[in-house]
Amino acid sequence: MRVLVMMSGGVDSSVAAALLRDDGHEVVGTTLKLWGGESDSGCCSVSDVDDARRVADRLGIDHHTFNFSEAFDSNVVDPYVADHARNRTPNPCIECNRHVKFDAVDERARLLGFDAVATGHHARIVTRPDGTLRVARGADRAKDQSYVVHVLDQARLARTLFPIGHLAKAEVREIATRMGLRTASKPDSQDVCFITRAQGRGSFLGDRIPLTPGRVVDVEGTRVGEVPAIELVTVGQRRGLGLPGGTDPRYVLDVDPATSTVTVGSKDDLLVSSQRVEDLMWSAEAVTGTVEVQCSAHGRTAPAVVERGDGDGTTATVRWVRPQRRVAPGQSMVFYEGDSVAGGARSC
């Protein structure tokens, strides 16, 4: 099988390429040029391209660099900025996977005659008794990335490989060391490759959209503080609100852009019995009954029932078995049956 492996310059994708080669596949590596600005996250830099190329040389496979910066800007960076402007929580890694890595790259791979694409994600693909495919959790629960690749449909799953999903991270590094790969001890990259530590999210967004100062009020409506930019505030946030100390912790309950008001309250005030969602998708058929819902990349799950709404089937209500903290608008919510992904949506 001809496989195009997306090699980021990190240890996971390096070992993914090595394992596929050892399994007898015709492997070609590609490093994606996605972000044209500054980056200190261990992604998209000249050194990462060099690391990937040198690993490919070590493995005896061809390597190419593909420029998908235009697709990345329009499908990841621009929506990231737009979500903040609307006081929504973006999911840049998920959108990169949805629109770039498993869409644009896969389409190019298809045109070039590749049978499959592969990445170094810590996730697995499993076949169910009815023949349908699902993303499943990686063997290393601490490194599991099924949440960020939950968007793959049946067509994409059929052309995707996750060669290291059955390995613990320590095993991946051991294999890289044994093979003499230069990435064996390279640190993991950060999530948001286009936000630098020096610049920060506030500066990045401030260069692109107006940032609006806002007042902070409690549930009684009493003013208790102020924030420099409501666009940087997220439901559930506790720190960075400039509130005086010496009181019980207070969390963001709501952000009202119309009045530039942030409402805060106790942890119990965050609890809700249901959550409206949109952009609903299922891995195959819609699931009835209880699922486990995960609301962040490495968060815990909670049981709920997904009740589909009227209309085109892309909206629903997630009814929690026990009240849970309100999920920030825009945040991805992924539905699991056991260790496999049944579907997902974004909170309203």
DSSP 101-151: IIIIHHHHHHHTT-SEEE---SEEEEE-TTS-EEEEE-S-GGG--GGGGTT
Q: How many CB atoms neighbour CB 246 within 10 A?
A: 5
CATH at residue 259:
2.30.30.280
Domain boundary among 245, 266, 287: 266
One domain, residues 252 and 322: no
Does 290 map to a domain? yes
Instruction: Please indicate, yes or no, whether residues 257 and 123 belong to a single structural domain of this protein.
Output: no
Contact 292, 340 (CB under 8 A): no
Q: Are residues 232 and 306 in the same domain?
A: no
Residue from 44, 93, 193, 295 carrying the catalytic annotation: 193
Asked which of 231, 266, 301 is the last residue of a domain, the reply is 266
> Are 231 and 319 in a shared domain?
no
CATH assignment of the domain containing 318:
2.40.30.10
**Residue 215 backbone dihedrals phi, psi, to 5 degrees:** -100, 150
Q: Which domain does 326 fall in, by range?
A: 271-347
Clarify whether residues 318 and 236 are in a common domain: no
Give me the pLDDT at residue 227, please: 95
CA 200 to chain centre: 19
Q: How far apart are CA 43 and CA 28, in angstroms?
A: 19
**Same domain? 147 vs 18:** yes
Question: Given 44, 93, 96, 295, which residue is catalytic?
Answer: 96
Inside any domain, residue 192:
no
**DSSP secondary structure letters along 162-207:** -TTTTS-HHHHHHHHHHTT-TTTTPPPPPS-TTS-TTTHHHHHHHT
Q: Which residues contact 255 (CB under 8 A, 6 or more apart)?
A: 87, 214, 230, 233, 234, 235, 261, 262, 263
CATH number at residue 65: 3.40.50.620
Same domain, 75 and 10: yes
Of residues 2, 203, 208, 210, the one with CA closest to residue 112: 2
Judgement on whether residues 219 and 314 belong to the same structural domain of the protein: no
pLDDT reported for residue 266: 95
What is the rounded distance in angstroms from the CA atom of residue 67 to the CA atom of residue 234? Answer: 33
In a domain, 185, yes or no: no
Residue 201 in domain: no
Q: Is 147 exposed, middle or buried (0-12, 13-18, 19+ CB in 10 A)?
A: buried
**288 and 335, same structural domain?**
yes
Domain-embedded: residue 25: yes
pLDDT of residue 47: 82
Supply the pLDDT for residue 40.
55
Determine, yes or no, domain membership for 306: yes
pLDDT tens digits along 48-103: 899 999 999 999 999 999 999 999 999 999 999 999 999 999 999 999 999 999 99
Question: Quick one: 57 and 121 in the same domain?
Answer: yes
Q: What is the pLDDT of residues 263-287, one digit of tens each?
A: 999 999 999 999 999 999 999 999 9
Same domain, 113 and 148: yes
Q: How many domains does the chain have?
A: 3
Task: State residue 191's pLDDT score.
Answer: 65
Q: Is 310 a domain residue? A: yes
Query: What single letter denotes the amino acid at residue 217?
Result: V
Q: What is the pLDDT of residue 46?
A: 73
For residues 56 and 118, the answer to whether their CB atoms sit within 8 Å is no
Instruction: Give the per-residue pLDDT at 248.
Output: 85
Same domain membership, residue 253 and residue 342: no
pLDDT at 30 (0 to 100): 97
Residue 61 forms part of a structural domain: yes
Give catalytic status of residue 96 as yes or no.
yes
Q: Report the candidate in 334, 343, 329, 342 with the shortest Cα–Cα distance to residue 296.
A: 334
Q: Rounded to two decimals, what is the model's pTM?
A: 0.94
Q: Using the 3D structure, point to which of 129, 154, 178 is the last residue of a domain.
A: 178
Regions of the chain with pLDDT less than 50:
none
